[in-house]
Chain A
């Protein structure tokens, strides 16, 4: 609640800041300071301290899980701004506006992690989506960016329609929008609620890019300015997953046996399509887009297996996946083009960057001693409580993911640079990247650092 309100205020502040502050680094600093404040306020709320005492009238509910998730997102966002702030300037002249939109999105993120009414969920999703449409198209001269924006907008609006139809059915069955479980027998078995459930499932699947509702993802991620792709693919996706879990854990827990097989099916299709398609990509950026679909398949296991393991796993996933992906995209913004060949021989020229990237990719692939491994471990463990075959499919797909993640590692470490140009990275950037990588490793060694927040 603290963070939600303050982030909106910060958004307004940054929106206006461009009028008063001409130096971009000050704006950047302001944004970072704002984020730090948000983070502090969020932690304060974790300890029970609220900035405003507001009667939310059952619209919002910030429980511990939501707050921890927010903390993770804010921390990721902090690293994101540190690593990619520079790249944001290259997109266009409206630096402060981009930041303002980011903070508005932030408010949306907090809405979807802490909603208690489907209305807030809907509003939150829209608060996230509408600025994202704009950020996707923010590279106005770039036709790919334009195209991505329109595709994202049209498909996103379409899915909003599905979401609303689902909510309408839900309302028809229940008479309210409260996102809690209903034990009313006329509600539990009603086909209206069932239809609403399925439509909500489709709409949420769309938002978190779960197959077969993922089609927008590769095109949009590819077309959007890299720095915003990074944001979309990580923090936003994580928040929406939190919302997804919350919706099906609370509201539809009694229909568990109905939707669980469908989610399992979606997991399989998502993993298959995401991983298999990623194998054949020629551009690292597009490969990452598909890989984010594949990772979504893994995160969907958290929905599938609503249990302690899966929720802990989602937290770890949020942290490790976000940090690793943010790091990779941050490096990508420095590259000439996004072909795999661009990474050839990077290890010899930029050992720190290469090592960090290697750790990020290892984490994404789920190699032990990285956060990504433990995250996957939790997910598989959670799934194993129900179905062995699903766990087996998941790990096989994790192995397939090695196919494409390791292409970059191979390029960096095992191939020689044949081109004369090689990307230059500022020293501070390299060190920051390494710190990010070390955090990813730390997550794999001491996950208690994050999971502890849930219980203490």
Chain B
């Protein structure tokens, strides 16, 4: 087993475990923490997949900015205890079963799918480099890039509109 394979398995198990913990933790704070762990694990995968820039952005934006925001809101609302009453037993069961069924169906459906390349060759190519990405982003993807500014504008207006006390 190569080092990359070991890393893959470790990261995968970590991601899955921490994701499960996000879902099962009673305490919201714990959920946030576990989610951050998940993001780190995913970032690890990004690095394995040669997407260095994304790995970094993921940690900065997601694990850093976004999750801190979550944490902040939870703290603000004083939800840092195991306050959430459990859902109805059968509803939980139905939810779990449905989610599981979705997983099974998708996995079963795509199990034999014809992938264009079976193996992911690690640490090869320069796709994930910031330079390549930047060049592409500001040439081919300049239109979506500009359009996403509308998204931010509206999100900004919206957040102010909603958050403002009047």
Contacts and interface: CB of A to CB of B under 8 A. Distances in A.
- Direct A–B contact in complex, judged by CB atoms less than 8 Å apart: yes
Nearest first, the 3 A-B pairs at minimum CB distance are: A134-B158, A104-B154, A59-B143
B142 to A, nearest CB: 7
Interface in A126-149: 126-127, 130-131, 133-134, 137-138, 140
A127 B154 contact: yes
Given A172-B115, A190-B114, A111 B158 contact: no
A57 interface: yes
Interface stretch (B12-20, B52-60, B80-88, B144-152): B144-152
Interface string A172-195: 100100000000001000111011
Interface of B: 106, 109-110, 112-116, 139-144, 147-148, 150-151, 153-155, 157-162, 166
Contacts of B140: 57
A97 B157 contact: yes
Contacts of A111: 147
A101 B162 CA distance: 13
A175 B116 contact: yes
Contact of A59 (B110, B144, B153): B144
A87 interface: no
Contact of A191 (B112, B153, B157): B112
B147 A15 contact: no
B153 A12 contact: yes
A108 B148 CA distance: 10
Given A11-B150, A101-B157, A104-B153, A186 B114 contact: yes
A97 B115 CA distance: 48
A134 B161 CA distance: 8
B140, B153, B166, most chain A CB atoms within 10 A: B153
Given A140-B162, A192-B113, A120 B106 contact: no
A119 interface: yes
A105 B151 CA distance: 9
A145 to B, nearest CB: 11
Nearest to A96: B157
B157 A192 contact: no
A120 B144 contact: yes
B158 A130 contact: yes
A12 B162 CA distance: 18
